[in-house]
Amino acid sequence: MAINKKIIVGNWKMNPVSLKEAEKIFSGIAKGFAVLKKTQVIICPPALFLEKLKKVSTKISLGSQDAFWEESGAFTGEISASMLDTLGVRYTIVGHSEQRHKYTDEEINRKVRGCLASGIIPILCVGETERDADHKYLNFVKQQVESALDKVSKNSLAKVIIAYEPIWAIGKTAVREATSAEFLEMSLLIKKVLNDKFGKSATDTVKILYGGSVNTKNALDFLENGKADGLLVGRESLNPAKFTEIIKTSENLNSLKGPNKK
């Protein structure tokens, strides 16, 4: 995982229905850009497409949408990090808002540690369900980060990606869109939590992404003004043209700022 690169992750969720369509979308994204120097692209498709998509293009890294903490055993329907490793999958989403209610904080922590033990980089999702006037959401996210990274070593922290996704800003029940300023606030909070637990030198290596109804219209704002290390994209990652535009926004970020900006 390159320290100086932005990371753009596409979470396909339970889409598309067929392998043929998955290959079409995947190849469409790969054809949309040449060599990327400042951006790493990761696609997380449904697990049954992983092996086939690995052969479509090497320009895109593959991730899974979840992983179980045990290596093997009587766990019907689960996929272990070790199994993903045998496929050459290097990333997995852990604790996504659509999955987190199924697991305790301790189980999310076991998923993170299981991924790290198998050489898989976890994309740890954290985020509050509501932004209350008493600012209790700050402690809520703080606790999520602390519990998920319990017993994770300082050396392993560099192999963890954190994605902040405000649940109140996502999907059909969204109260409103989140702002880049709100993301920056949470990013600084997460960095403080990491700094208190692991020290500044370890914290500086951690990528913090924004994920919450990311689209072509708000991508630049979160990357530039929110200072996000990358984006976790849902719906628009299934549209090659729109997802490629987001990737190019990341790749061209410095030039988009203009010659007089730093």
Cite the active site residues.
96, 165
Yes or no: say if 164 and 190 are a contact pair by the CB < 8 Å rule: yes
Can you say how many angstroms the Cα of residue 30 is from the centroid of all Cα atoms in its chain? 19
Q: β-strands 161-164, 207-210: how paired?
A: parallel
H helices then E strands: how many in the chain? 11, 8
Facing residues of 11 across strands? 44
Rounded-to-integer distance, Cα 7 and Cα 47, Å: 21
Which are the contacts of 108, defined by CB distance < 8 A and separation ≥ 6?
94, 95, 100, 124, 147, 148
Q: Environment class of residue 148 by beta-carbon count within 10 Å: exposed (0-12), middle (13-18) or buried (19+)?
A: buried
State which amino acid sits at residue 97: S
